[in-house]
Amino acid sequence: MRFYGLALLAGAAVLSACGGGEKKADTTATEAPATPATGAAPAPTTGTATKVEATGADHEVKMVGDDKGYRFEPADITIKSGDKVTFTMVTGGPHNVAFDPNTTPAAGKAQLDANMDGKLAELSSPMLQNPNEKYTISFGGVAPGQYPFHCTPHLAMNMKGTITVQ
Ligand SMILES: [Cu+2]
């Protein structure tokens, strides 16, 4: 449970497509797309949700790596559904923002995945390499709940946080 790389994240995306999971009552959000994919191959996704732009406040989280360690500042934040969170690369990159599909609330998973631009994998942002690079995630339409996240390259160094959506 504690060790997951990109390969495992991709594997989880495949598994979730098979309908596995502890919830008996599947909602349509987690079903396979009803229409065949067209043209360009989309990034891996958990469902058929489309991006919902944020309409609320912007919350800044810094991504820091220095002699005190690797961390998000602040690591734990509370926002409202419809807000957005902007991650800013400060030092010690590359950093990213990844939500573990296994710990992401089922009710908000497909929407959150749809709201993330340029994903490397399901629920996983691109790498931010340079100081002041930013990555914004809209929580538009994302269901309330606790969304733990981590930095993939620095997961073992405990670079983690939690976004609580109210
Ligand atoms: Cu990092």
pLDDT digits (tens, 9 = 90+) for 95-146: 999 999 999 999 999 999 999 999 999 999 999 999 999 999 999 999 999 9
What's the confidence (pLDDT) of residue 1? 43
Identify residue 115 by its one-letter amino acid code.
N
Residue 94 Cα, ligand 1 centroid: separation in angstroms? 6
Distance from Cα 35 to the centre of ligand 1, integer Å: 37
Q: Could you tell me the distance, in angstroms and rounded to a whole number, from the CA of residue 101 to the centre of ligand 1?
A: 19
Question: Which helix (H) or strand (E) is 150 found in, with range?
Answer: strand 145-150
Q: From ligand 1's centre to the CA of 127, what distance in Å?
A: 9
Report the separation in Å between the CA atom of 54 and the middle of ligand 1, taken as the mean of its atom positions: 25
> Which pLDDT band, with edges at 50, 70 and 90, does 64 fall under?
very high
pLDDT average, residue stretch 160-166: 98
Q: What local confidence, expressed as pLDDT, does residue 21 receive?
A: 41
Contact 31, 47 (CB under 8 A): yes
pLDDT number for residue 48: 78
Burial 29-62 (b: 16+ CB within 10 A, else e): bbeeeeeeeeeeeeebbbbebeebebeeeebebe
On whether the CB atoms of residues 61 and 73 are closer than 8 A, the answer is yes
Measure the CA–CA gap between 86 and 34, rounded to whole angstroms: 32
Rounded CA-CA distance 138/152 in Å is 20
Tell me what pLDDT residue 44 has: 52
What is the whole-number distance in angstroms between the Cα of residue 151 and the centre of ligand 1? Answer: 5
Task: Give the distance (Å) from ligand 1 centre to CA of residue 123.
Answer: 16
pTM: 0.72
What is each CA distance from 48 to 56, 90, 111, 149, 152, in whole angstroms?
23, 34, 8, 22, 25
- Reading the block at residue 131, the tokens are 């100081």
Write the pLDDT tens digit of every residue in 11-50: 444 444 444 444 444 444 444 444 444 444 445 545 679 9
97: CA distance to ligand 1 center in Å? 8
Count CB-CB contacts under 10 A for residue 157: 14
Q: How far is the CA of 126 from the centre of ligand 1 (A)?
A: 12
Ligand 1 centroid to 115 CA: how many Å? 21
Distance 140 CA to ligand 1 centre (A): 25
Listed in sequence order, the DSSP H helices in 26-161 are 106-115
- Contact between residue 76 and residue 162 where contact means Cβ atoms under 8 Å apart: yes
- How far apart are the C-alpha atoms of 141 and 121, rounded to whole Å? 21
